């Protein structure tokens, strides 16, 4: 990211889970470039998280990172305490404006072979974690703030091997509508972004690294290629912009026209 912060979101602070890599990292860079303060979370890769902070700072933005295992609901209280301290120490604030529930994992397994352990892991990371993290952080989300939940194109189209993963993302989309209804009186908007296939290390990097998979996606996408992180980070930033204040409870698919 070479551009200097443009200031269109100056004064705002975004919390982005899973910001050390992939789509979360790109969203953090995009929001940082628009002048928003960024608090990203990471699970294991502290070095990548620190690199993100440095990159945003070099572009004129401000960022911090905190460790978080989205599957561990029992740690969310301590995380909230650390978040409040970071808000006060780094941003001189008591609350934040945007929450992007992005952290996740991919498990590819045919329905017949999916194990209870795999299913439970997906529940904890993709559904239970975002549900209770949002609940925990809600007291610190500014009134008239915004939440973006990351889903998947796989809730609209079906590809073998992703049944359990897609079920979790379907749950996130239902949660989005309920949150929009219950938080609407506080002026908080809640929307879902549903990426198509993206060239990242997600799921072992198959979309990025396997030529046949990448070509299959390109051949079945209206815009003729697989997606890249820039396609999604920019879309998340746009969904959080002031011009989208009247949009809530919506599922926005950003897939380049995959399987239409």
- By the 10 Å C-beta count (0-12 exposed, 13-18 middle, 19+ buried), 206 is classed as middle
Q: Beta-carbon neighbour count of residue 82 at 10 Å? A: 16
Residue 117: which of 127, 107, 103 has the closest Cα? 107
Token pair, residue 168, equals 């979790």
In angstroms, the CA 173 to CA 171 distance is 5
Catalytic residue numbers, as ranges = 165
The widest CA-to-CA distance across the chain, in whole angstroms, is 52
Residue 61: which of 20, 91, 24, 18 has the closest Cα? 91
| End-to-end Cα separation, the chain, in angstroms | 32
Rg (CA), the chain: 17
In angstroms, the CA 257 to CA 205 distance is 21
């Amino acid at each position: 990211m070479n551009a200097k912060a443009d200031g269109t979101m100056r004064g705002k602070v975004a919390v982005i889970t899973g910001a050390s890599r992939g789509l979360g990292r790109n969203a953090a860079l995009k929001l940082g470039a628009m002048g928003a303060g960024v608090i990203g979370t990471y699970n294991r890769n502290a070095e990548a998280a620190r690199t993100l902070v440095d990159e945003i700072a070099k572009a004129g933005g401000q960022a911090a990172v905190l460790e978080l295992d989205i599957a561990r609901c029992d740690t969310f209280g301590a995380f909230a305490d650390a978040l409040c301290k970071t808000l006060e120490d780094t941003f001189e604030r008591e609350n934040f404006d945007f929450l992007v529930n992005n952290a996740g994992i991919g498990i590819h397994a045919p329905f017949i072979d999916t194990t209870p352990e795999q299913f439970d892991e997906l529940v904890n990371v993709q559904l239970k974690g975002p549900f209770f993290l949002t609940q925990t952080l809600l007291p610190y989300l500014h009134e008239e703030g915004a939440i973006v939940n990351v889903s998947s194109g796989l809730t609209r189209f079906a590809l073998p091997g992703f049944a359990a993963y897609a079920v979790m993302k379907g749950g996130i989309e239902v949660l989005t509508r309920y949150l929009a209804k219950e938080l609407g009186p506080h002026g908080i908007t809640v929307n879902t972004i549903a990426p198509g296939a993206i060239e990242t290390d997600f799921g072992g990097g198959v979309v990025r690294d396997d030529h046949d998979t990448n070509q299959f996606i390109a051949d079945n996408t209206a815009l003729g290629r697989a997606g890249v992180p820039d396609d999604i980070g920019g879309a998340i930033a746009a969904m959080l912009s002031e011009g989208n204040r009247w949009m809530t409870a919506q599922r926005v698919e950003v897939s380049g026209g995959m399987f239409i």
